[in-house]
Structure 1
Amino acid sequence: MAATRKHPENCEKATRPGCKCGNCSGTLHGWSNWVEIAREPEPVRAEKRNSIIDLLKGWWSAKHGAKPKPKTKIHPKEATIDLVRIDCAGWLARSATGSAPDSAPAPRNESRTEAEEAVSGRPATAEQAGERAAAAEPAGLAARVESAPVPHEPGSDRPDEVEQVATFAQTMAKDIWQEVLEELDGSPEEVKALCLQMAHHAWCDLFIGFAQALEAFGKVIEKVPDKAKEVITEAICGSSKQKKRSELTERVVGMVVDKAWSAFKAATIAHSPLFALLSSEELLRNLRIIAIFICPAPNNHREVQEHAIDPLLRDARDYISDETKQWLATQFKQWADGVARPEVPGSREGVGRSEVAPPKQPPE
C-alpha cells in the first residue's frame, strides 16, 4: 500500500517538534529542508543563524529579569538544536565547495552598538569556550579523532558532502519505505497506524543504529558482517521512543532494516563505487547528520543526542561551532561541563562547571 498523496511542505520544512505525517511516515521530515539550506549561499545561512541567536539572547535576558521581555515566544531547546543543524549544514556546504572542512561558521555581524546588544544575553567568546572545552576533554580524545576527510574538489567524480547526505537519506528512508508499504498486509487502519508510528522517531533510530553498527564492527565497509543488522534492529526496538510504537513490531523492523541495509551496501559498495571511496569516518558523519536532520525532536531524543550530536560536538573538525556549544550548555546538562554559559551580571548563571567563570562583560 504505497502512499499516493502529495507530500505536505510543512513536513519537509517542519519548524516545530514532532511528526504526524502518515503520508511520508517521517521519511521526508525535515532532512530535505536542511539539505536545501546547505545548498543556499552562506549569507542566507548566516541570517538564519543570527535570527535564532538573537531570539535566544532575548529569551536568556528575559529569563533573568531583563525588560522588556521578547515578543516572540521561543522554545530554547528547539532553537538551540536548530543552531546545531545550521552548523552541520554550513559544514557540508563549505566542504562541498572545497573550503577547509574544519573552518568555523561565518562570524556574526557585531557592528551594532553595545546599547543595542543585551549585555546579559551575550555568550562568552568562542576562544573562551574553546579553552574551557579543551580543558574538560577526556584524556586521549584528540588522539582518537582521525584526520579530516579530503574536501570535494569541484569537477571531480566524487559526490560532494551535501549530495552524500541527500542520497543516503533518500535511498535508506523514503525509497525503501515505499517497498515496505507494498509488502505489508493488514487493514488500511492498521497500516495508517504504523505509518504514524514510524514518523515517531523510527528513522532517526534507524540511522543511529547504522552509526552504532559501524562503530561496533570496524572500519572497512566490505568487512562489516550482516550481523550488524542485529545492532540496528536493537537500536530501533530498544529505543527510548519504542514504547509509543506498538505497531512497529520486530517483523516490520526486520523488513525495514533488511531493505535499508541492502540500500546502504549498494550505495557504498556495489552499484555506486564512487560512494565506496568514502572512509568510515565520512560515512559515520553522514549517518549522524542525517539522524539530526530527520529527527522530529532531537532535544527530546536521548539516542540522537548521545550517538549523533555528542560525537559531532566533540570532533576536532568543528562540525558544531563554539557559539552553539555555549547555547547547548544553557539547555542540556550533559554539555554544560567545561563550556561557558552566557553571563548574567550579579548571578552565577554564567559560570561554567569547569569552575572558571567567563570574564565580566564591559559596562554599558
Structure 2
Amino acid sequence: MTHPVICERAKGHNCACSACGGTQHGWTNDLKWARDPSPAARRQARDDSDRAWAEAQQKPPRYRRIAATDSATVDLIDWLSENPDTIDRIQAIGNLLAGPVIQELDKQFGGTRPRKLRKQLTDHFWCDLFVAVAEAIETFSKAIDRVPEYVTAVVLQSRKAEGRSVLLDALVGLAVRTAWKSITSMIDTAGAEEIQRGCRILAVLICPAPEKHKAVQDGALLPLAKEGLLETSRERLEQVLPEDWVRRLREGLDDA
C-alpha cells in the first residue's frame, strides 16, 4: 500500500495518513537531513525553528509548546548528523514499522479495510510503542524475555491515561511481539543502550505532536535532553512543559 510522500516530509502536528498508518510520519525525511553532508537543510530548519519561537511569543501558549518541541527535534537531527551509526540503527528500527509490523497487523486485523485500521494507529501509537520499548530495555536488562508483555501493558496504560483511542489488547501485543523479534537481534549487535537511545529519538521524530504527548515528553525528551539537546532548546522546553518535568530535567543535569 503506497502513501503520499508528503507524510515523510510532514511538519504539521497531526497525522491522519490511512495509507502508512503514521509509520512514515516525518522521521524518514529527518534522517535524510541528518545524513546530508551539506548542512543547508539543517540550517534552514534551525532558522525556521528560531523564527517560529520568536513569533510564538505573541500567540496563545500552544504555539510556544509546538515551537519548543520543534526546536528539540532540530537539535536531535543535528546530533544525528554527527553520529551516523545511530542514524542507521534508527532507520533499521523504523523500517520494522513500514515492513513486518504493519503487514502483520494488516493480515490479522485489517480485514477488507486496512486503511481504517491504519488510521487508528496514527493516534500516537508508534511513539507510545517506542517509548515503552526504551523503558523496558532498561527495566528488564536481565530478563529480556519479559519485555513484550511489559511493553504491551505500558502502551495500553499510557493510552488510557492520556485519553488516546482505544486499541485491542491483541493488536498492541502483536505489534510489540513483531517489532521486538527484530529489536532483540539489534541489541545483541549494537548493545542495549544504543538501541534504547535509537528508540527514544525515533519516538520524538515520529510523534505528530510531542507537545501534547506526555509519554514522549517523559520517556524520550527528558532522557535525551542530557546529550542531544542544546541549552537553548532545554530552556524553551522548561518554559512550556510542566514543573515536574523541569524539576526532573534539572536533577538529571546536576547528576550528569
Q: Same fold (TM over 0.5)?
A: yes
1:322 is matched with 231
| Aligned counterpart for 2:66 among listed residues 78, 92, 115 | 78
Using the alignment, how far apart are the partners of 1:52 and 1:243 within structure 2? 29
2:41 is matched with 44
- Specify the SS of the correspondent of 2:195: helix
Using the alignment, how far apart are the partners of 1:164 and 1:333 within structure 2? 31
| Aligned counterpart for 1:309 among listed residues 199, 221, 234 | 221
| Aligned counterpart for 2:95 among listed residues 150, 160, 170 | 170
Using the alignment, how far apart are the partners of 2:41 and 2:187 within structure 1? 32
**More helix by proportion, 1 or 2?**
2
Note if contact 1:17-1:297 (Cα within 8 Å) is conserved in structure 2. Answer: yes
CA shift in 2, pair 1:184/1:55, >3 Å: closer
Deviation of residue 306 (structure 1)?
Answer: 0.3
| Aligned counterpart for 1:182 among listed residues 97, 107, 110 | 107
CA shift in 2, pair 1:177/1:56, >3 Å: same
Note if contact 1:208-1:291 (Cα within 8 Å) is conserved in structure 2. Answer: yes
- Specify the SS of the correspondent of 1:307: helix
Deviation track 1:72-112 (CA, whole Å, cap 9, x = no partner) reads: xx92222221111111111111122xxxxxxxxxxxxxxxx
1:213 equivalent to 2:136? Answer yes
Q: Which runs of 4+ in 1 moved over 6 A?
A: none
Deviation track 1:115-174 (CA, whole Å, cap 9, x = no partner) reads: xxxxxxxxxxxxxxxxxxxxxxxxxxxxxxxxxxxxxxxxxxxxx221111111112x11
Note if contact 1:208-1:235 (Cα within 8 Å) is conserved in structure 2. Answer: no
1:26 is matched with 22
1:123 is matched with none
Using the alignment, how far apart are the partners of 2:200 and 2:51 within structure 1? 27
Q: Map 1:163-312; keep pairs closer than 5 Å.
A: 163-171=88-96, 173-175=97-99, 176-184=101-109, 186-188=111-113, 191-218=114-141, 223-240=142-159, 243-246=163-166, 248-269=167-188, 276=189, 278-312=190-224
Using the alignment, how far apart are the partners of 2:200 and 2:176 within structure 1? 17
With the length of structure 2 as denominator, give the TM-score of the two structures.
0.87
- Specify the SS of the correspondent of 1:55: helix
Pairwise CA RMSD: 2.4
Alignment coverage as a number of residue pairs: 245
Structure 2 unaligned spans of 5+: 250-256
Deviation of residue 284 (structure 1)?
Answer: 1.3
Letter of the 1:230 counterpart: E
1:333 is matched with 242
Note if contact 2:17-2:119 (Cα within 8 Å) is conserved in structure 1. Answer: yes
Larger Rg computed on CA atoms: 1
Structure 1 unaligned spans of 5+: 65-73, 97-159, 270-275, 340-364
Note if contact 2:109-2:117 (Cα within 8 Å) is conserved in structure 1. Answer: no
